């Protein structure tokens, strides 16, 4: 039979008593350590008050916590705590969670990720316990959207909200906005329809950063006026691994008035292009974006990208040209295609081989050495390598033949061209 404690789960108080006892978490001094010894004066009835050393950041993940324990004990030892990580526990009762939160008066960060909260009911009076939280993490909790809305309505200074891996395919708009929220991290859900994303604008009017990668969003459907009205303060957006497949959707990102950082990797639209082409085309399409996929866009890079963009669409029918094409042509003119110049070193040359009265056309490798050329010529001039001397004659040079006397020297160092001559002179005995 399992111990009674394992069947019922562990309490928050039990875990902090165990983890932060002097034996497991010795008192340390020094700036930035954040370790506090709670003084005896003013605290009554706590057998732990002279024993625990708690930092202002409590990390209690994976501890099997399912309940709060004595609230008086929590209040006595967590008055200074500002950040609390309760992820990967077994908390499935909002009343127990609210007991913990309400007993920590300075709590600003709370992580409840990977606790089994699906189907749990949060009562309005319990929601008030989270009123001081500024950053709330609810990843992989399967928490209902109605519960999310109840929390945002009761947290007046909420700035950051994390809702990843919760299987949201739709959201309901709230009649009460959360004007303080700046960051919404809602990756790895199932938000395919832009109409759902648009609701975030009315709910969170001060939204600065929207991270919604891995949602397979199909398109951006709103027009310029609606996007500007819904997201007047949005500066950063992450649409990595979305389903965007039209350049029109990329152009619509220009309708967010303050947008200057964009992440757009892994979208179907860009799969056919090389890495360099993707970046150039994206930079040219987004003239106000200063940071693309985590890299700063420099002035010189933007100019190169915009010139590339013009040339990329030179042969495109007028009706298919992107909206920004004509403004870039006005800026730079209608550029001609870049000349294709092969800067690779020549690897072969067609030369004339002269030996006494005999003349042969021969294709020679320029990466071989003089010694290797002599070996190639043995079958042409019927001489052994030790019985010949080679001379190179540049057809465009006024100078005479140059002897190829160094057997280990590569032929390309002589700048041999098509039409030049190789003169083979038999050695005299």
Contact 180, 206 (CB under 8 A): yes
> Which residues touch 213 (CB under 8 Å, ≥6 apart)?
187, 188, 238, 239, 240, 241, 242, 263
Spatial separation of the C-alpha atoms in residues 238 and 184, rounded to whole Å: 11
In a domain? residue 209 = yes
Look at residue 25 and tell me if it is in a domain. no
Same domain, 124 and 60: yes
User: DSSP string spanning 14-49?
Assistant: HHHHHHTSTTTS----STT--EEEPPSTT--S-TTT
Q: Is residue 11 domain-resident? A: no
Within this chain, do residues 376 and 311 fall inside the same structural domain, yes or no? Answer: no
Residue 14 lies in a domain: no
Please give the residue range of the domain that contains residue 362: 348-426
pTM: 0.73
The domain total for the chain is: 2
pLDDT of residue 8: 65
Strand 402-403 with 388-393, pairing: antiparallel
- Let me know whether 124 and 270 are in one domain: yes
Residue 388 sits in the same domain as residue 320: no
**What is the rounded distance in angstroms from the CA atom of residue 188 to the CA atom of residue 216?**
9
Asked, for residue 148, whether it belongs to a domain, the answer is yes
Asked whether residue 8 is domain-assigned, the answer is no
Alpha-carbon span 402 to 377, nearest angstrom: 18
Residue 70: strand pairing partners? none
CA dist 285 and 395 (Å) reads 52
The single-letter DSSP state of residue 336 is P
In this predicted model, what pLDDT tens digit does every residue of 158-175 receive, in sequence order?
A: 999 999 999 999 999 988
What residues contact residue 298 under an 8 Å CB cut-off, 6+ apart? none
**d(Cα 351, Cα 224) in Å, to the nearest integer?**
66
Domain stops at, among 332, 358, 379: 332
Q: Residue 44: its pLDDT value, please?
A: 41
Report yes or no on 27 lying in a domain: no
Question: Do 63 and 195 fall into the same domain?
Answer: yes
Which CATH number belongs to the domain containing residue 71 in this structure?
3.80.10.10
Per-residue model confidence (pLDDT) at position 26: 53
Q: Are 255 and 373 in a shared domain?
A: no
Are both 411 and 271 inside the same structural domain?
Answer: no
| Residue 77 neighbours by CB distance under 10 Å | 26
Residues 289 and 414 in one domain: no
Question: Do residue 322 and residue 382 come from a single domain?
Answer: no
Which residue, of 332, 363, 394, is where some domain finishes?
332
- For residues 137 and 213, membership in a common domain is answered with yes
CATH for 401 = 3.10.20.90
Both 326 and 366 in a single domain? no
Q: Which two tokens stand for residue 150?
A: 């109840």
Run of H or E residues at 73: helix 71-77
Give the DSSP letter of residue 193: -
Cα-based distances in Å from 359 to 276, 383, 411, 426: 50, 15, 20, 15
Give per-residue pLDDT as tens, 143-160: 999 999 999 999 999 999
Please say which residue of 332, 367, 383 terminates a domain: 332
The answer to the question of residue 315 being in a domain is: yes
> Residues of the chain whose pLDDT is less than 70?
1-8, 22-53, 337-345, 429
Same domain as 253, residue 196: yes
């Amino acid at each position: 039979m399992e111990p009674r404690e394992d069947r019922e789960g562990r309490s928050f108080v039990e875990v902090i008593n165990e983890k932060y006892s002097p034996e497991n978490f010795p008192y340390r001094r020094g700036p930035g350590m954040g370790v506090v010894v709670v003084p005896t004066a003013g605290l009554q009835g706590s057998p732990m008050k002279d024993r625990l050393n708690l930092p202002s950041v409590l990390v209690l993940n994976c501890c099997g916590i399912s309940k709060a324990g004595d609230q008086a004990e929590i209040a006595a030892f967590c008055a200074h705590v500002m950040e609390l990580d309760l992820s990967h526990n077994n908390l499935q009762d909002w009343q127990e969670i609210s007991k913990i939160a309400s007993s920590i008066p300075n709590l600003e960060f709370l992580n409840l990720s990977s606790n089994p909260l699906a189907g749990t009911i949060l009562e309005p009076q319990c929601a008030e316990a989270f009123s001081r939280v500024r950053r709330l993490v609810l990843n992989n909790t399967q928490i209902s959207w109605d519960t999310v809305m109840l929390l945002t309505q009761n947290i007046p200074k909420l700035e950051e909200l994390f809702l990843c891996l919760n299987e949201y395919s739709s959201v309901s708009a709230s009649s009460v906005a959360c004007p303080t929220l700046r960051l919404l991290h809602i990756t790895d859900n199932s938000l395919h329809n832009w109409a759902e994303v648009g609701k975030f604008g009315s709910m969170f009017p001060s939204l600065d950063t929207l991270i919604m990668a891995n949602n397979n969003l199909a398109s951006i459907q709103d027009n310029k006026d609606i996007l500007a009205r819904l997201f007047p303060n949005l500066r950063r957006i992450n649409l990595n691994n979305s389903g965007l497949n039209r350049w029109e959707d990329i152009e619509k990102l220009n309708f967010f008035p303050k947008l200057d950082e964009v992440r757009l990797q892994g979208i179907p639209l860009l799969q056919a292009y090389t890495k360099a082409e993707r970046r150039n085309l994206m930079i040219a399409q987004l003239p106000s974006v200063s940071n693309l996929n985590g890299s700063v866009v420099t002035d010189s890079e933007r100019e190169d990208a915009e010139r590339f963009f013009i040339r990329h669409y030179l042969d495109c029918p007028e009706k298919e040209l992107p909206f920004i094409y004509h403004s870039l042509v006005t800026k730079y003119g209608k550029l001609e295609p870049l000349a294709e110049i092969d800067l690779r070193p020549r690897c072969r040359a067609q030369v004339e081989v002269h030996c006494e009265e005999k003349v042969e056309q021969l294709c020679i490798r320029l990466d071989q050495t003089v010694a290797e050329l002599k070996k190639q010529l043995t079958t042409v001039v019927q001489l052994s390598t030790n019985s010949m001397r080679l001379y190179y004659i540049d057809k465009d040079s006024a100078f005479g033949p140059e002897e190829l006397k160094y057997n280990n020297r590569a032929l390309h160092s002589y700048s041999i061209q098509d039409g030049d001559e190789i003169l083979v002179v038999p050695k005299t005995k």
